[in-house]
Amino acid sequence: MKLKELMGKASPLRSGDVLAGVAASSQEERVRARLELAEVPLRRFLDEPLVPYEDDEVTRLICDSHDEGAFGAVGWLCVGEFRDWLLEASAEELSAVAAGVTPEMAAAVSKLMRVQDLILVASKIRVVTRFRTTIGLAGRMSTRLQPNHPSDDLKGIAASMLDGLSLGSGDACIGVNPATDSVRVLVDILKMIDGVRERLEIPTQSCVLGHVTTQMEAMKAGAPVDLVFQSIGGTEGTNRSFGIDLAMLDEAYEMARSLGRGENVMYFETGQGSALSAGAHHGMDQQTCEARAYAVARRYRPLLVNTVVGFIGPEYLYDGKQIARAGLEDHFCGKLLGVPMGCDVCYTNHAEADGDDMDGLLTLLGAAGCNYIMGVPGADDIMLHYQSTSFHDALYLRRLLGLRPAPEFEAWLAKKPEVLEQTWLLT
């Protein structure tokens, strides 16, 4: 069987793979595919790219950036043995192997792992990044404060932002999804957030998640751009559907670096199903496509990368069980590849999921050492119409597992001004 076909059949059941026609047709076929996958040598993934080298620039990136030296530690193993190796490996061994692991190897081994394996191995890997805060340290869990507003009203955004700051949210970044992707809207929001950050001396970074080209225009217009954001996928065609390619990301990365505002300057979002949605999955299962997106991400040494796991809808991840497994797979694969992985623990109202499912995934990700989650007022994003995690959810997780915010932000919280008395911002 072709490797690509085997990967699809070995994948845990999810609606997107059924929709794509790559899923196993019975439970037994699924487990038999896993038994066969366990015997596949890791090296076969280097010899048999799932998408041809000539056809896809993400494949070329994966092949050309593969570190044969780092791969040496696991190069003689089969996928099943790789799982065993991961369970026994030390934190140092896991960090050292990252550059030798391809996304397809990570995806393959994840298909043989139980939920507890995904949690245990990920929890051993720290991927630490820095801008004004340090994110991903052991015993820490950060939040992206997400104060979206359906008409990009600056006072409306500010109100949600103050609410979040008062509840200790925002150490990963303050990141707004604009309702309108225009330079003027981006510049206005960026200036407002940056003004608040400077006035209240908040150690964090801001981002307005427009299209990368709009953010580049904003940079040219002199806007205070900390992080440059883009949605990315695991094939060239998926990225084209987002209106980007690697050359464009290269240009944005250089431009953001040249501003000299921080060390890690990029922010990426991903999510299983985007490749199929774009008709650009090349017959691969959606989780393998997703892992390939992390190869795109790691090229740019990003501050933040998160899967928006339940956003895409039930035709890709049908229910709470599928969403939870996908979130843990994405976090594990990202960390194994050396990506600073967070997660937007989320669901839409047409998925078979609810707040209880999110509480479960949130808690499991906390145990797995997830770098950050989202902070949305009351978990209800009134612009994007989906439910994520709330400021209170983050407080719950920190208290339950003894997790703390990023150290710089923690110090600010200890002496922070009365955020809710900042009337100047709203008058």
Between 104 and 357, name the residue whose CB sits nearer to other proteins.
357
Is residue 383 within the footprint of other proteins (CB under 8 A)? yes
**Residue 210 CB, nearest approach to other proteins (Å):** 11
Nearby residues of 125 by Cβ (< 8 Å), 6 or more positions away: 91, 94, 95, 335, 336, 369
Q: Which of 39, 55, 67, 153 contacts other proteins by CB under 8 A?
A: 153
Is residue 395 within the footprint of other proteins (CB under 8 A)? yes
Exposure letters 382-404 (e unless 16+ CB within 10 A, then b)? ebbebbbbbbebbebbbeeeebb
- Measured between alpha carbons, how far apart are the two ends of the chain, in Å? 66
Q: Which of 49, 100, 136, 147 contacts other proteins by CB under 8 A?
A: 147
> Which residues ranging from 15 to 44 are in contact with other proteins (CB under 8 A)?
15, 18-19
Is residue 12 within the footprint of other proteins (CB under 8 A)? no
The residue written with tokens 């720290």 in the block is: 126
For residue 377, the SS3 value is helix
Is residue 107 within the footprint of other proteins (CB under 8 A)? no
Is residue 363 within the footprint of other proteins (CB under 8 A)? no
Exposure letters 342-364 (e unless 16+ CB within 10 A, then b)? bbbbbbbeebebeeebbebbbbb
The one segment of 56-64, 151-159, 207-215, 220-228 that binds other proteins by CB under 8 A: 151-159
Is residue 314 within the footprint of other proteins (CB under 8 A)? yes
Between 149 and 331, name the residue whose CB sits nearer to other proteins.
149
**Residue 346 CB, nearest approach to other proteins (Å):** 12
Between 157 and 207, name the residue whose CB sits nearer to other proteins.
157
**Residue at 164: amino acid letter:** G
CA distances from 250 to 266, 291, 405 (A): 11, 20, 31
Between 84 and 359, name the residue whose CB sits nearer to other proteins.
359
- Sign for the pseudo-dihedral over CA of 327, 328, 334, 338: positive
- Cα-based angle 282, 287, 291 (whole degrees, multiple of 5): 90
**Residue 166 CB, nearest approach to other proteins (Å):** 9
Exposure letters 178-216 (e unless 16+ CB within 10 A, then b)? beeeebebbbbbbbbbbebbeebebbbbbbbbbbbbbbb
Q: Is 28 exposed, middle or buried (0-12, 13-18, 19+ CB in 10 A)?
A: exposed
The one segment of 31-39, 122-130, 309-317, 363-371 that binds other proteins by CB under 8 A: 309-317
CA distances from 346 to 5, 314, 360, 414 (A): 29, 12, 11, 30
Is residue 69 within the footprint of other proteins (CB under 8 A)? no
Between 143 and 387, name the residue whose CB sits nearer to other proteins.
387
Between 333 and 397, name the residue whose CB sits nearer to other proteins.
397
Spatial distance between the Cα atoms of 322 and 420, rounded to a whole number of angstroms: 39
Spatial distance between the Cα atoms of 5 and 23, rounded to a whole number of angstroms: 9
Mask for 168-197, x = binds other proteins (CB under 8 A): -----------xxx----------------
Q: Which of 5, 36, 57, 315 contacts other proteins by CB under 8 A?
A: 315
Structure tokens at 352: 């078979």
Is residue 213 within the footprint of other proteins (CB under 8 A)? no
Between 174 and 265, name the residue whose CB sits nearer to other proteins.
174
The one segment of 292-300, 323-331, 360-368, 382-390 that binds other proteins by CB under 8 A: 382-390
* Interface positions with other proteins (CB under 8 A): 15, 18-19, 147-150, 153, 155-160, 162-163, 179-181, 313-315, 318, 348-350, 354-355, 376-380, 382-387, 390, 392, 395-396, 399, 418, 420-423, 426
